């Protein structure tokens, strides 16, 4: 019998994690809603599978009850996380996911007491969004415990020659679901505030050069608050210049995505057009993070990190996190950095961290 389950195993990312798990000697149960999609994957990897829909509460709890841990990879998580969290709490199985969606983090953290009582861990965001940035936030925040302001900038763009589309359909579909309703979230005096898209562009020095970045909703704006409790936070993403410089003008168009049929049509288009990054892009791409904190006296600390391309990172780190949780005694709702520490990210091959960048 399998010790853990990958739910959403047939998706772009779930399949990568399943393949990595097998390479590391695991035999996870592959799960999802479609037997027709699960069967060929299970046969190829020599694993067992379980087809169960998230709306079938009884069958889901029964399937989850056969494992110690669920690695949830089926998104958009705004639609999939709550039923799986409920099943994990009922069955007493640890819950991990790879969401970067702020409302999903908020719901997961609201279940902290229930998870402690049940003796399970709930650790959302164990992918590229947010392990590297969450770890770097903890790294700089631990050096300045009275910090009042935090800036974090993520450069997730593949930096390789001949790189193809850097995003999977699932990632873009998750953005389509959330962006129109939550907009650009930043944190002021402990509260989340929405600001106009495309405002506040700035330049940030990354290990491979300086880039323009744009304030954007990224999981850290919520997760970083659980990790470091710093009341003011700016979260930036490096995006293609064509997006950043037109975002202000084009952002009203996002309102169209609030209309159900338009959103569904856009999601279908995305499914057809985005197969996800190729193996070449994943293996040669890189991503980078910058974080800085300052306190009321004006003292600062900053650091940089470079690591694997985002989906490669999610694949590699995902299985390491599963191993840690199965071997450990984690309880309650935790951020990745508070669960595994600021240095866990350094155990992922290809990761380098700097306190000062060489000139
Ligand atoms: N944290 C990170 O850095 C990170 C990295 C990669 C991905 N992600 C997130 O992970 C999610 C999946 O990404 P992906 O690239 O793997 O997408 P994908 O290729 O579109 O796969 C999505 C998977 O979720 C399943 N699914 C979707 N809605 C479901 C529902 N209501 N009930 C049951 N299963 C459902 C799909 O099943 P069907 O095939 O049956 O539709 C499929 O197996 C996205 O939300 C993405 O943003 C995060």
Residue 359 lies in a domain: no
User: Is residue 60 in some structural domain?
Assistant: yes
Q: How far apart are CA 106 and CA 89, in angstroms?
A: 16
Q: Say if residue 112 is in the same domain as residue 143.
A: no
- CATH number for the domain harbouring residue 220: 3.30.360.10
Q: Do residues 121 and 172 both lie within one domain?
A: no
Looking at per-residue confidence, does 303 or 164 come out higher? Answer: 303
State how many domains the chain has: 2
Instruction: State the distance from the centre of ligand 1 to the C-alpha of 270, rounded, in angstroms.
Output: 13
Distances (CA, A) of 115 to 85, 91, 330: 10, 11, 10
| pLDDT at res. 173 | 67
Q: Is the pLDDT of residue 64 over 90?
A: yes
Q: Is the CB of 79 under 6 A from ligand 1?
A: yes
Supply the range of the domain harboring residue 238. 131-309+347-354
Atom 47 of ligand 1, nearest CA residue: 171
94 occurs within a structural domain: yes
Q: Examine the domain organization and report whether 86 and 217 are in the same domain.
A: no
Judgement on whether residues 230 and 155 belong to the same structural domain of the protein: yes
CA angle at 230 for the pair 227 and 231, rounded to the nearest 5°: 130
Yes or no: say if 84 and 301 are a contact pair by the CB < 8 Å rule.
Answer: no
Residues 113 and 155 in one domain: no
Please work out whether the CB of residue 285 comes within 6 Å of at least one atom of ligand 1.
Answer: no
195: which 2 tokens? 């600001």
On whether the CB atoms of residues 72 and 96 are closer than 8 A, the answer is yes
Contact 76, 101 (CB under 8 A): yes
Residue keyed to tokens 């909703």: 217
| Domain co-membership, 279 together with 178 | yes
**Mean pLDDT across the chain, nearest whole number?**
91
Which residues have C-beta within 8 Å of that of residue 75, sequence separation ≥ 6?
8, 11, 98, 99, 101, 170, 173, 174
pLDDT tens-digit readout, 110-168:
999 999 999 999 999 999 999 999 999 999 999 999 999 999 999 987 464 455 557 77
- pLDDT category, 102, cuts 50, 70, 90? very high
CA proximity to 318, closest of 9, 1, 109: 9
Buried b (16+ CB within 10 A) or exposed e, 28-60: bbbbbbeeebbeebbeebebbbbbbebeeeeeb
Chain centroid offset of residue 138 CA: 16
Give yes or no for a contact between 221 and 102, defined as CB atoms under 8 angstroms apart. Answer: yes
Cα–Cα distance measured from residue 23 to residue 272, given in angstroms and rounded to the nearest whole number: 29
Is 334 a member of any domain? yes
**Same structural domain, 318 and 288:** no
- Regarding whether 166 and 51 lie in a shared domain, the answer is no
Give the whole-angstrom CA distance, residue 136 versus residue 204: 15
Closest CA to 337 of 248, 172, 178, 226: 226
- Is 90 found in the same domain as 167? no
- d(CA 297, CA 200) in angstroms, rounded, equals 24
Which residue's alpha carbon is nearest to atom 42 within ligand 1? 11
C-alpha–C-alpha distance, residues 213 and 194, integer Å: 17
* C-alpha atoms less than 13 angstroms from C-alpha of 31 in its C-beta half-sphere: 26
Nearest CA to ligand 1 atom 25: 74
Are residues 149 and 218 part of one domain? Answer: yes
- pLDDT, tens digit, 9 for 90 and up, residues 183-231: 788 999 999 999 888 888 999 999 989 999 999 889 999 999 999 999 9
Measured CA to CA, the distance from residue 81 to residue 96 in angstroms comes to: 10
Q: Hey, which residues does 295 pair with through a beta bridge?
A: 147
Q: Please work out whether the CB of residue 352 comes within 6 Å of at least one atom of ligand 1.
A: no
Pair 108, 13 in one domain: yes
Query: Confidence class of residue 287 from pLDDT cuts 50, 70 and 90?
Result: very high
Question: Which of 153, 96, 121, 138 shows the shortest CA–CA distance to 225?
Answer: 138
Q: Give me the phi and psi of 40, to 5 degrees please.
A: -65, -35
For residue 60, the CA-to-ligand 1 centroid distance in Å is: 17
Which residue's CA lies nearest to atom 24 of ligand 1?
74
CATH of the domain at 82: 3.40.50.720
Q: Are 73 and 8 in contact (CB under 8 A)?
A: yes
Residue 48 belongs to a domain: yes
pLDDT category at 275 given cuts 50, 70, 90 is confident
Residue 27 backbone dihedrals phi, psi, to 5 degrees: -130, 70
Q: Could you tell me if 54 and 33 are in contact, meaning their C-beta atoms sit under 8 angstroms apart? A: yes
Q: Among 7, 55, 75, say which to mutate for ligand 1: greatest number of ligand atoms within 8 Å of CB.
A: 75
291 & 171 share domain: yes
Q: Which of 6, 74, 87 maximizes ligand 1 atoms within 8 Å of its Cβ, making it the mutation to test the pocket?
A: 74
> Measured in angstroms, how far is the CA atom of residue 52 from the centroid of ligand 1?
15
């Amino acid at each position: 019998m399998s010790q853990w389950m990958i739910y959403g195993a047939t998706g772009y990312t779930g399949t990568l994690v399943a393949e990595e798990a097998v390479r590391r000697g695991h035999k996870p149960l592959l799960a999802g809603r479609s037997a027709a999609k699960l069967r060929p994957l299970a046969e190829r990897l020599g694993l067992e599978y379980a087809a169960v829909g998230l709306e079938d509460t009884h069958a889901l709890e029964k399937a989850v009850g056969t494992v110690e841990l669920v690695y949830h990879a089926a998104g958009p998580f705004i639609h999939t996380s709550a039923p799986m969290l409920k099943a994990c709490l009922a069955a007493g199985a640890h819950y991990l996911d790879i969401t970067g969606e702020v409302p999903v983090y908020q719901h997961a953290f609201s279940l902290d007491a229930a998870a402690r009582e049940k003796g399970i861990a709930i650790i959302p965001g164990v992918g590229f969004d947010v392990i590297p940035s969450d770890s770097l936030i903890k790294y700089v925040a631990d050096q300045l415990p009275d910090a009042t302001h935090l800036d974090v900038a993520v450069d997730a763009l593949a930096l390789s020659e001949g790189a193809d589309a850097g995003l999977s359909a699932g990632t873009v579909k998750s953005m389509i679901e959330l962006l129109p309703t939550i907009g650009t979230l930043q944190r002021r005096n402990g509260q989340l505030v929405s600001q106009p898209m495309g405002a506040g562009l700035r330049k940030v020095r990354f290990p491979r050069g300086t880039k323009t970045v744009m304030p954007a909703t990224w999981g850290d704006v919520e997760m970083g608050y659980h990790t470091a409790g710093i009341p003011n936070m700016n979260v930036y993403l490096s995006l293609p210049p064509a997006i950043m410089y037109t975002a202000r003008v084009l952002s009203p168009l996002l309102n169209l995505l609030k209309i159900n049929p338009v959103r569904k049509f856009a999601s279908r288009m995305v499914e057809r057009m985005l197969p996800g990054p190729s193996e070449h892009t994943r293996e040669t791409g890189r991503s980078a993070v910058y974080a800085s904190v300052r306190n009321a006296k004006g003292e600062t600390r900053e650091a940089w990190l470079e690591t694997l391309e985002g989906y490669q990172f999610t694949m590699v780190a995902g299985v390491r996190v599963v191993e840690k949780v199965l071997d450990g005694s984690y309880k309650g709702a935790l951020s990745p950095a508070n669960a595994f520490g600021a240095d866990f990210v350094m155990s992922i091959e290809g990761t380098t961290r700097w306190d000062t960048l060489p000139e």
